[in-house]
């Protein structure tokens, strides 16, 4: 039975595509699908029973981005697998012509509402990276510089709530010297354009990179990076990751600034997400509740945005003190984060947040797997590196975790306070107490548990006055709290870490006079 073009919900065997909500379900369960594959399915569903040529689909799903038919074939394969249509009876191949969707029946005759996939693509920031101007004067540097831009482009594309123009498309438009930055942006339909230059200073390659707002013409961010040596780690790993991390942070910050000038009802999913993350990364009264509201609004604006579900769960956990939350809250949080992973299985932040939640349920092996998958999906995301370190601390591998925390801070020098909180715990377990205290002291608005941890750290250092000071603060923040009993709440895989912390707290209480 052909689908009514006005229908917003389409049944395809055991699968149901809801164009209005932007979801694909099968046997009642949400089916994860890559964003481009989902968009392909929506495009075909909007023209049921009609053969669409390959070029027509390429133009619709990858507008202004040059890709090969291999990308289309992969998306078709993904859709068929999601539908349970490996035989190609629903999404049919029409030899020499293209593809056709043959749904079994429509479920509603409601007026068509643009799917969330279409909304998400149109509202997620679109960014183009232009070739860096080669000012080295050395012909052999050209391929290296071009390779760096390719690495940066690929790294930025790993952030799934951005749309990144393909490198060859950006380079082709940039070759037209008659176009200024605004003209390049208009041709590429980009919100932001990245340009810059490369030069040699004392034998070292210096990259200067800038992020420009196409509409206003303003430079939003600019920075120089020094490539020490020409090794793989420097030129194709470390430097691109630093640049990608700064670029993403700057785009998110630009989205946040723009959202503050408009009413909440008009904000896009990305802008709500940017506001929520900005609030969540600060410490203050009511910030977690405000962040939760923005994540909920992001979900409403784009129900396919898995990362919004993951952060919604994390903000909910923060309101209830994370692992101190009642079991029903933790179960609710885990369900919300898992939904984010289902919707966006290739979003590193969903996998990283899931790894953190899994430790609460003592699922340590699964937590490490999720954390490593997050890093594999996006090694340019500092939060993924941080989550890896966090899991390793809980697994009793504090020495190993230090490298991950340091890498996270290296590519994100504006790291949030909670990085220091977990980093300090790792330093505590390896006996680097002065550094541990320094890191924990940088965390704003200490909780009672953090004050007692500082006291325990100073106790190992023999700093009696500081011990008394922080024990008093902890007890003032949580009168009557049994801090020895509270240590049992920490989600460590082995008892030795719990005992190490317990010994420090007992020593602190003893040094404070048993108070």
- pLDDT for res 515: 46
Q: Are residues 55 and 181 in the same domain?
A: no
Decide if 131 is inside a domain: yes
CA distance 24 to 57: 19
Q: How far is CA 261 from the centre of its chain?
A: 24
CATH code of the domain containing 83 = 1.10.10.10
Question: Which residue among 78, 101, 117 closes a domain?
Answer: 117
How is residue 136 written in tokens?
Answer: 């080295």
Q: How far is CA 390 from the centre of its chain?
A: 16
CA distance 131 to 149: 7
Judge residue 366's burial from the number of C-beta atoms within 10 Å of its C-beta, 0-12 exposed, 13-18 middle, 19 or more buried.
middle
Residue 130 backbone phi and psi in degrees, to 5: -85, 160
DSSP sequence for 125-158: -EEEEPPPEE-S--GGGHHHHHHHHHHHHHHHHT
Decide if 383 is inside a domain: no
Q: Residue 10 pairs with which residues in a beta bridge?
A: 17, 106
Q: Are residues 107 and 196 in the same domain?
A: no
Q: Are residues 159 and 213 in the same domain?
A: yes
Cα–Cα nearest to 72, from 93, 86, 87: 93
Half-sphere CA count of 403, side-chain side, radius 13 A: 3
Judge residue 480's burial from the number of C-beta atoms within 10 Å of its C-beta, 0-12 exposed, 13-18 middle, 19 or more buried.
exposed
Q: Are residues 242 and 133 in the same domain?
A: yes
Q: Give the sign of the dihedral formed by CA 412, CA 216, CA 132, CA 172.
A: positive
Q: Are residues 80 and 149 in the same domain?
A: no
* Largest distance between two CA atoms of the chain: 85
Decide if 134 is inside a domain: yes
CB-CB contact of 345 with 329 (8 Å): no
Q: Are residues 198 and 250 in the same domain?
A: yes
265 conformational bin, left if phi > 0, alpha if psi -120 to 50, beta if neither: alpha
pTM: 0.70
- pLDDT for res 440: 95
How is residue 157 written in tokens?
Answer: 């594309």
Q: Report strand pairing: 9-12 vs 15-18.
A: antiparallel
Q: Are residues 110 and 159 in the same domain?
A: no
Q: Which residues fall within 8 angstroms of residue 397, CB to CB, at 6 or more apart?
A: none
Q: Are residues 56 and 26 in the same domain?
A: yes
Decide if 285 is inside a domain: no
Decide if 240 is inside a domain: yes
CA distance 112 to 441: 55
CA distance 80 to 73: 11
CA distance 323 to 354: 14
- pLDDT for res 8: 61
What is the number of domains present in the chain?
A: 3
Residue 229 to residues 147, 208, 233, 238, 255: CA-CA distances in angstroms? Answer: 16, 17, 9, 12, 35
Cα–Cα nearest to 447, from 293, 281, 312, 322: 322
Decide if 349 is inside a domain: no
CATH code of the domain containing 152 = 3.40.50.10070
- pLDDT for res 112: 30
Quote the DSSP letter at residue 479. T
Q: Which residues fall within 8 angstroms of residue 175, CB to CB, at 6 or more apart?
A: none
Q: Are residues 133 and 184 in the same domain?
A: yes
Range of the domain at 165: 124-259
Q: What is the pLDDT along the chain (515 residues), one digit of tens a residue?
A: 333 333 467 778 778 887 666 678 876 677 778 878 888 888 888 877 788 888 888 888 887 677 778 888 888 988 888 888 887 888 888 877 888 888 754 434 333 333 333 333 336 788 988 888 889 888 877 887 888 888 888 888 888 888 888 877 888 888 888 888 888 888 888 889 999 898 888 878 888 999 999 888 889 899 888 876 544 344 445 678 888 888 888 888 888 887 777 777 778 888 889 889 888 887 777 889 999 999 999 988 888 889 999 999 999 999 998 888 899 999 999 999 999 999 888 899 999 999 999 999 999 999 999 999 999 999 888 999 999 999 999 999 999 999 999 989 988 877 888 899 999 999 999 999 999 999 999 988 898 999 999 999 999 999 999 999 999 999 999 998 999 988 888 889 999 999 999 999 999 999 998 54
Decide if 246 is inside a domain: yes
Q: Which residues fall within 8 angstroms of residue 501, CB to CB, at 6 or more apart?
A: 428, 453, 456, 487, 490
Decide if 156 is inside a domain: yes
Q: Are residues 68 and 129 in the same domain?
A: no
Half-sphere CA count of 204, side-chain side, radius 13 A: 12
- pLDDT for res 159: 87
Question: Which residue among 67, 87, 117 closes a domain?
Answer: 117
Q: Are residues 109 and 202 in the same domain?
A: no
- pLDDT for res 10: 79
Three-state secondary structure string covering 303-314:
CCCHHHHHHHHH
How is residue 265 written in tokens?
Answer: 């009802």
DSSP sequence for 163-218: EE--HHHHHHHHT-TT--HHHHHHHHT-SEEEEEEEEEETTEEEEEEEEEETTT--
Question: Which residue among 73, 100, 117 closes a domain?
Answer: 117
Q: Are residues 57 and 168 in the same domain?
A: no
CA distance 457 to 453: 6
């Amino acid at each position: 039975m052909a689908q009514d073009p006005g229908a917003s919900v389409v049944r395809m065997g055991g699968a149901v595509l809801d164009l209005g909500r932007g979801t694909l379900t099968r046997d009642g369960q949400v089916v994860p699908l890559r964003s481009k594959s989902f968009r392909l399915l929506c495009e075909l569903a909007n023209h049921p029973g009609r053969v669409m040529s390959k070029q027509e689909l390429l133009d619709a799903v990858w507008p202004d981005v040059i890709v090969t038919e291999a990308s289309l074939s992969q998306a078709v394969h993904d859709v068929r697998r999601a539908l349970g249509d490996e035989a190609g009876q629903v999404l049919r191949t029409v030899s020499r012509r293209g593809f056709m969707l043959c749904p079994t029946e429509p479920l509603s005759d409601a007026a068509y509402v643009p799917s969330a996939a279409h909304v998400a693509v149109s509202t997620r920031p679109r960014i183009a990276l232009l070739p860096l101007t080669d000012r080295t004067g050395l012909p052999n540097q050209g391929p290296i510089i071009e390779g760096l831009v390719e690495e940066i482009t690929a790294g930025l594309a790993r952030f799934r709530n951005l749309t990144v123009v393909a490198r060859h498309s950006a380079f082709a438009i940039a070759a037209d010297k008659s176009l200024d930055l605004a003209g390049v942006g208009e041709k590429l339909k980009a919100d932001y354009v990245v340009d810059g230059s490369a030069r040699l200073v004392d034998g070292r390659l210096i990259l200067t990179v800038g992020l420009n707002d196409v509409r206003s013409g303003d430079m939003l961010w600019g920075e120089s990076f020094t490539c020490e040596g020409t090794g793989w780690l420097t030129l194709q790993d470390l430097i691109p990751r630093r640049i990608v991390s700064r670029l993403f942070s700057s785009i998110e910050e630009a989205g946040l600034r723009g959202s503050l000038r408009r009413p909440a009802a008009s904000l896009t999913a990305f802008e709500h997400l940017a506001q929520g993350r900005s609030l969540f990364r600060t410490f203050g009264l009511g910030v977690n509740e405000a962040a939760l509201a923005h994540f909920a609004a992001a979900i409403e604006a784009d129900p396919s945005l898995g990362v919004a579900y993951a952060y919604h769960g994390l903000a909910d956990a923060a309101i209830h003190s994370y692992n101190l939350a009642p079991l029903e809250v933790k179960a609710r949080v885990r369900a919300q984060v898992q939904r984010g992973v289902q919707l966006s299985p290739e979003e590193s932040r969903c996998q990283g947040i899931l790894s953190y939640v899994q430790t609460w349920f003592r699922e340590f092996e699964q937590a490490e797997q999720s954390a490593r998958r997050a890093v594999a999906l996006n090694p340019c995301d500092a939060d993924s590196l941080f989550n890896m370190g966090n899991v390793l601390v809980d697994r009793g591998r504090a020495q190993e975790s230090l490298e991950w925390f340091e890498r996270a801070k290296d590519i994100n020098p504006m790291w949030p306070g909670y990085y220091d909180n977990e980093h300090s715990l790792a330093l505590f377990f390896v006996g680097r107490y002065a550094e541990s205290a320094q890191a924990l002291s940088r965390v704003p608005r200490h909780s009672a548990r953090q004050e007692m941890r500082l006291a325990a750290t100073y106790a190992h250092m023999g700093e009696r006055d500081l011990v008394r000071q922080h024990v008093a603060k902890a007890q003032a923040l949580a009168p009557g709290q049994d801090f020895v009993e509270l240590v049992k709440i920490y989600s460590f895989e082995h008892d030795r870490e719990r005992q190490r912390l317990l010994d420090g707290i007992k020593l602190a209480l003893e040094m404070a006079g048993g108070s």
